[in-house]
Amino acid sequence: MNRCMLILAVLTVSACSTSSLSKTEQPKPLHQDRPAYPYYALKNRIEGMVKFNFDVDAEGRVSQMRIIESTPDHLFDNAVITAVSKWRFEKGKPANNLPMTVKLKMQK
């Protein structure tokens, strides 16, 4: 009985420490410009979205970006890549695989 309680206590403590390690604080955005609307999309009144994941390095810069989905296909990708490459986050809080969706809509 005591042995079972000891094993249960050890498992509980290790589970608690594991869950607290996985919760890292995400960096706060300092500068996030919206993408420039591509001329073709603007002229033809096309709206869309780009869903992507990105990494932030220790200096607060976007170090990697992976486009997951874009609608219409590839129309807004370059505009979003250009804008996101200029984004800045607080330093000292690197993070990986941060999800983001940018919706590009026409002004009414």
The residues pairing with 51 across neighbouring beta strands, listed in sequence order, are 69, 101
Options 3.40.50.720, 3.40.50.2300, 1.10.287.610, 3.30.2420.10; CATH of 25-104:
3.30.2420.10
pLDDT at 108: 72
Whole-number pLDDT of residue 23:
56
Q: What's the confidence (pLDDT) of residue 1?
A: 46
Domain ranges of the chain: 25-104
**Mean pLDDT per 10-residue segment, the chain (108 residues):** 39 38 75 95 97 98 97 97 98 96 90
pLDDT at residue number 25: 81
Give Cα 19 distance to the centre of its chain.
21
The pTM assigned to this predicted structure is: 0.74
Q: What's the pLDDT at 84?
A: 98
CA distance 35 to 82: 7
